[in-house]
Amino acid sequence: MSETLAQLGKYAEEAGTKVTSLRKNESSVEVSQDHLKAFLARLVNDLHVRHLMTITGLDLGQSLGIVYNFSKERDTIHVRTSVPKTKPETLSITDIVPGAILYEMELHDMFGIEFAGNPWKDQKLLLPEEWPADLPPPLLKTTKPDQIRRRLGLEAAKP
């Protein structure tokens, strides 16, 4: 086990959780919303795990999963958290990792998660400007491609 992972285990314990190993060099840690920012700040500033590869959104049924995919040399670290579907809000991490800005915008477009503190949070990145407000975010499991096509008036184009 590398030094980074050993240290990560200690931090996880202090945040009341533990690290699971997915394979050699790939680990995952589940952190609650309350501890998230503090945990990430320690990860980035103290452990120097500074490369955020991306942020992955997951539809977990009742809640939405947010996975922060970090890497440092050989280690890949997934920091997971979840927000309820009824209130999809979390804090932006752009103050800790400035490179997260576009990934947060992407998640906002695709899963409807609000990132409080993201400087560009009110803009769209991937979806069109005229995306109807009554359409649910496209990557939710309950959103069907047919539904989007019908609402956008694209059904007629189909043979």
Stretch near other proteins under the rule CB under 8 A, chosen from 5-13, 34-42, 83-91, 136-144: 136-144
Binding flag, residue 139, other proteins (CB under 8 A): yes
Residue 35: strand, helix, or coil: helix
Q: Please identify, using beta-carbon distances, which residue of 7 and 54 lies nearer to other proteins.
A: 54
Among the listed residues 30, 21, 29, the one whose alpha carbon sits nearest the alpha carbon of residue 2: 21
45-to-4, 54, 130, 144 alpha-carbon distances in Å:
12, 18, 40, 41
Binding flag, residue 137, other proteins (CB under 8 A): no
- Distance of closest approach, residue 11 Cβ to other proteins, in angstroms: 21
Instruction: Name which position in 7, 17, 33, 56 contacts other proteins (CB under 8 A).
Output: 56
Q: Please identify, using beta-carbon distances, which residue of 57 and 88 lies nearer to other proteins.
A: 57
φ, ψ of residue 41 to 5 degrees: the values are -60, -40
Among the listed residues 38, 48, 33, 45, the one whose alpha carbon sits nearest the alpha carbon of residue 115: 33
CA distance 7 to 106: 31
Among the listed residues 38, 29, 26, the one whose alpha carbon sits nearest the alpha carbon of residue 1: 26
Structure token pair of residue 73: 């040399």
Binding flag, residue 43, other proteins (CB under 8 A): no
- Distance of closest approach, residue 14 Cβ to other proteins, in angstroms: 25
Binding flag, residue 154, other proteins (CB under 8 A): no
Residue ranges in contact with other proteins by CB under 8 A: 22-23, 25-26, 50-54, 56-59, 67, 69, 71, 73-74, 76, 78, 97-103, 106, 109-110, 120, 123-130, 138-139, 141, 145
